[in-house]
Amino acid sequence: MRFSLIHCLACAFLCAAAARAQSGWDLTLSDEFNGPANTYPDPAKWNVEVNGNPPNAEAEAYVKSLRNVSLNGLGQLELIALHEPSGGKQYTSGKVNSSGRFVQTYGRWEARIKLPAGTGFWPAFWMLGINNGCGGWPSCGEIDIIENRGRLARTSSSAMHGPGYSGNTPLAHTYNLPAGSPSFFDDYHLFAAEWDATSVKFYVDSTLHYTVNKTDVQRYGNWVYNHDFYILINLAVGGQFDGGQIPPASAFPAKVMVDYVHVYKPGTGPIIVALRPERLTPREAASLPTLTAYDFSGRLRPSRESPGALTPMASRSATGAGAISLCR
């Protein structure tokens, strides 16, 4: 494929701008879930949670079983809900957390996830504040990066819970995918939160859809987002989030598929997100050291090396200031 002079000049300009930019982030946690099939995720990073009676009137038991929590051998973690009894529950499902493995104050927290379809499913990627004397939930804080009602293929929500604004929190916002884009059930999407001492910003793909400032929180209660938080990813069945609805038997098994999880802290290093090394062409891999910052949004572009194929593209700088392209 030939490129016009205008295209080349534009690419050169963007590359030069990227080289001058301060990226603003340093990678602190990365899991691409590249282990063998039918194995648990890295125990140095993740706990497989066991809870036979979870909160929120949920209908599942979280169990440690490779039938519910495992790598698929293709680079994804799968959390699987099954219609099978466990204790007093009629369903089992999977949940992982990084408590005691990875915690951090502030930064960018993101995961690329494909969600399951079915009324009554409640997948979530979220964060809880560690109990450092704050008194437990909700006083230690909760940041819900993404929750989904399994009957809504194109709508997600983000929320914050704390003292005075928990449960049916006023600090919540829904996001609807643009018309024509793949649904949450049909493809992977990037869900992220950027959190600092005065705000939390929520993203779906490259779209900033909700900002909660410290002053917004203080209308209802204390700002409790100034200490370490850890990650949770789970697939609930039923529960209060969607009025206790239960999926039909035909919806099982259901899977949350997690392509990767990355966390950054404020710094000066590059963002290199989701352009998985094994998926890069040789040219793209060689170009990585020349990029100061880029961030994957799930967008694709025609591959130069494999006509008819699609490959990822960079979509926004670490500061959120517009787009940059892969410079080759």
Catalytic residues: 142, 147
Burial class (CB within 10 angstroms; exposed 0-12, middle 13-18, buried 19+) of 135 = exposed
Tell me which H or E stretch contains 282.
helix 282-287
Q: Which residues contact 327 (CB under 8 A, 6 or more apart)?
A: 11, 14, 15, 18, 287, 290, 291
Q: Which residues contact 66 (CB under 8 A, 6 or more apart)?
A: 38, 39, 40
In sequence order, the β-bridge partners of residue 258 are 77, 113
DSSP structure string for 140-200: T-EEEEEE--TT-TTEEEEEEE-TTS-SS-SSEEEEEPPTTSPPTTTS-EEEEEEE-SSEE
How many other CB atoms sit within 10 Å of the CB of residue 227? 16
CA gap 268, 277 in Å, rounded: 22
Burial class (CB within 10 angstroms; exposed 0-12, middle 13-18, buried 19+) of 20 = exposed
CA gap 190, 298 in Å, rounded: 7
Q: Which residues contact 12 (CB under 8 A, 6 or more apart)?
A: none
How many other CB atoms sit within 10 Å of the CB of residue 129? 24
CA gap 72, 32 in Å, rounded: 12
